[in-house]
């Protein structure tokens, strides 16, 4: 019995160790590896965020493009509209000038100046001359307004108003005359370039004929827009022949192109009564 006891102790210790090891293994939980999956989830989130941002950017870009298209599609104001706006702001400037508000006068004078300059660019003759004078006085008004000289600035604004009103009256008095003069000038230029085109066509210079025929075409189209009746009909025919001349000129058919230009000349002369 004395010799067996140590072995019992050893066996008891061994069994206790095995039991402890088994209990620890059974109690342990399986923890899956999430490293790659987590990275993948973040990558997906990043991709989705990038995709959303790209979509938003495209939406903003499309909106911007539409805004630009809308701006480009807006027609330019007529000279009459610009003149009216110039006159309106000039009168407001004068009112504030009389009240001693030099700074407010200056702001309205600047707006009036912008509209007056826009109208001046498209007008001719007396209306243009009066707008030029109005612009001179508006510039002086702005200069003195910036120096707080309300009284002097007001005088210049009043001078500008006088010229703006005269320009408006002159524009109303001669629209038909200006239109007629414009169409005659374009017809004359069309005839001149068509004649030069024929000269080069007879010499076999198809490319030079084409260039002059293109210029003649532009002038003929401009004149056609404002003419009526028989004159307009003749220019329409001239335009048809000029287009044919350009087409054959580009194919180096100098003789055929020359014939079409000659036909165009006949119709241009008929449109202006020659």
pLDDT digits (tens, 9 = 90+) for 22-76: 444 444 443 444 444 444 444 444 444 444 444 444 444 344 444 333 333 333 3
User: What pLDDT is attached to residue 98?
Assistant: 96
Helices (H), 125-205: 125-146, 150-173, 175-202
Answer with the one of 173, 198, 228 that is the final residue of a domain: 173
User: What pLDDT is attached to residue 253?
Assistant: 96
User: What pLDDT is attached to residue 171?
Assistant: 72
Of 40, 45, 138, whose CA–CA distance to 97 is shortest?
138
Q: Is the CA virtual torsion 41, 47, 51, 57 positive or negative?
A: positive
Regarding whether 185 and 140 lie in a shared domain, the answer is no
Regarding whether 186 and 163 lie in a shared domain, the answer is no
CA-based R_g, the chain, Å: 43
**CATH number for 131:** 1.20.120.660
Residue-number span of the structural domain to which 163 is assigned: 79-173
Contact 109, 90 (CB under 8 A): yes
Residue 61 forms part of a structural domain: no
User: What pLDDT is attached to residue 67?
Assistant: 36
Residue 9 forms part of a structural domain: no
User: What pLDDT is attached to residue 155?
Assistant: 96
User: What pLDDT is attached to residue 249?
Assistant: 96
**HSE (side-chain half, CA atoms, 13 Å) at 205:** 11
User: What pLDDT is attached to residue 79?
Assistant: 78
Tokens for 26? 């059974």
Determine the 3-state secondary structure of 69 from DSSP.
Answer: helix
Cα 147 to Cα 157: distance, rounded to the nearest angstrom:
15
Residue 161 forms part of a structural domain: yes
Regarding whether 211 and 259 lie in a shared domain, the answer is yes
Answer with the one of 173, 191, 219 that is the final residue of a domain: 173
Regarding whether 126 and 195 lie in a shared domain, the answer is no
User: What pLDDT is attached to residue 80?
Assistant: 83
Residue 115 forms part of a structural domain: yes
Regarding whether 198 and 145 lie in a shared domain, the answer is no
DSSP state of 252: T
Contact 237, 267 (CB under 8 A): yes
Low-confidence residues of the chain: pLDDT under 70: 1-77, 172-181
Give the total number of structural domains in the chain. 2
Answer with the one of 156, 173, 190 that is the final residue of a domain: 173
């Amino acid at each position: 019995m004395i010799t067996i006891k140590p072995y019992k102790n050893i066996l008891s210790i061994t069994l206790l160790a095995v039991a402890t090891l088994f209990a620890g293994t059974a109690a342990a939980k399986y923890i899956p590896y999430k490293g790659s999956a987590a990275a993948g989830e973040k990558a997906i989130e990043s991709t989705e965020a990038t995709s959303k941002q790209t979509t938003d950017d495209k939406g903003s870009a499309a909106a911007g493009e539409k805004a630009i298209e809308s701006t480009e599609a807006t027609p330019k104001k007529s000279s009459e509209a610009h003149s009216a706006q110039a006159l309106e702001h000039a009168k407001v400037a004068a009112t504030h000038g009389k009240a001693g508000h030099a700074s407010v006068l200056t702001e309205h004078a600047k707006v009036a100046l912008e509209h007056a300059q826009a109208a001046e660019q498209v007008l001719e003759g007396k209306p243009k001359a009066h707008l030029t004078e109005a612009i001179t006085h508006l510039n002086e008004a702005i200069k003195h307004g910036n120096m707080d000289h309300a009284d002097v600035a007001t005088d210049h604004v009043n001078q500008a108003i006088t010229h703006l009103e005269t320009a408006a009256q002159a524009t109303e008095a001669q629209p038909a005359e200006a239109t007629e003069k414009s169409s005659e000038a374009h017809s004359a230029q069309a005839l001149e370039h068509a004649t030069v085109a024929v000269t080069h066509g007879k010499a076999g210079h198809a490319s030079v004929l084409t260039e002059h025929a293109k210029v003649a075409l532009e002038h003929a189209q401009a004149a056609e827009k404002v003419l009526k009746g028989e004159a307009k009909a003749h220019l329409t025919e001239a335009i048809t022949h000029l287009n044919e001349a350009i087409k054959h000129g580009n194919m180096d058919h100098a003789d055929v192109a020359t014939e079409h230009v000659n036909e165009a000349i006949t119709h241009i002369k008929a449109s202006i009564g020659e």
